[in-house]
């Protein structure tokens, strides 16, 4: 299956909303709602809720129902079953750390945009052959960082990336300066210790700082 123009355009619009997409993991719905509000108030309206905990889908659904002004995606989509479960919970886009033939088929057929993950030129080429214009670059730091993405620009000029994994406030500008990077993903804007303490003002402050970063 290939990636359709309509969903590609929708994904482009989502990724253009902010330079940083918070990558979030929740153990309960209440902390998910409070964190989402704090990030939104700090200027980061696009959120990725990872499917890594038993309460992740519950948290995602609660955010969709209770928090206005945000766009919620489901991250760590690893199985075809995750695709349907995330959509039923209200996810507006899907993100995977890597790709498989089954997952590409399920993701490209889903009614919401799909951001598949790559770590190598070969994986990126496979997505480009299927018509993908966007990919998650993961794990960005260990996989080669900004220099690696810069090297991919010439052979794959139509593929744009969202680097995630080892991205923080210090190195995010190096990624965002690249022509083939549209935004970055990171957990530094909502660290686990601030969520555990309920320091929503602290998270808003981190989000506000990150929202001032500029993509090329």
Task: Give the catalytic positions in this structure.
Answer: 48, 136
Bond from prior residue into 139 cis (ω within 30 degrees of 0): yes
Task: Give the integer Cα–Cα distance in Å for 38 and 16.
Answer: 20
In order of 66, 119, 174, the CA distances from 83 in angstroms are 22, 21, 32
Q: Is 127 exposed, middle or buried (0-12, 13-18, 19+ CB in 10 A)?
A: buried
Task: Give the integer Cα–Cα distance in Å for 168 and 49.
Answer: 18
Residues contacting residue 145 through CB under 8 Å, at least 6 positions apart: 163, 166, 171, 174, 175
């Amino acid at each position: 299956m290939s990636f359709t123009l309509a969903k590609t355009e929708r994904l482009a619009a989502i990724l253009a909303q902010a330079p940083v997409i918070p990558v979030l993991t929740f153990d309960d719905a209440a902390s998910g709602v409070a964190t989402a509000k704090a990030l939104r108030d700090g200027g980061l309206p696009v959120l990725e809720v990872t499917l890594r905990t038993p309460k992740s889908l519950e948290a995602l659904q609660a955010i969709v129902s209770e928090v206005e002004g945000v766009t919620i995606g489901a991250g760590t989509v690893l199985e075809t079953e995750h695709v349907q479960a995330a959509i039923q919970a209200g996810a507006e886009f899907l993100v995977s750390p890597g790709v498989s033939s089954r997952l590409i088929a399920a993701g490209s057929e889903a009614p919401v945009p799909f951001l598949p993950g790559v770590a190598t030129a070969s994986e990126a080429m496979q997505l480009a052959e299927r018509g993908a214009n966007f990919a998650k670059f993961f794990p960005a730091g260990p996989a080669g960082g900004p220099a690696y993405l810069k090297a991919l620009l010439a052979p794959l000029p139509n593929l744009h990336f969202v680097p995630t994994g080892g991205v923080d406030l210090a190195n995010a500008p190096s990624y965002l300066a690249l022509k083939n990077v549209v935004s970055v993903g990171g957990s530094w804007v909502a660290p686990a210790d601030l969520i555990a303490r309920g320091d929503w003002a602290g998270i808003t402050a981190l989000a506000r700082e990150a929202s001032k970063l500029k993509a090329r």
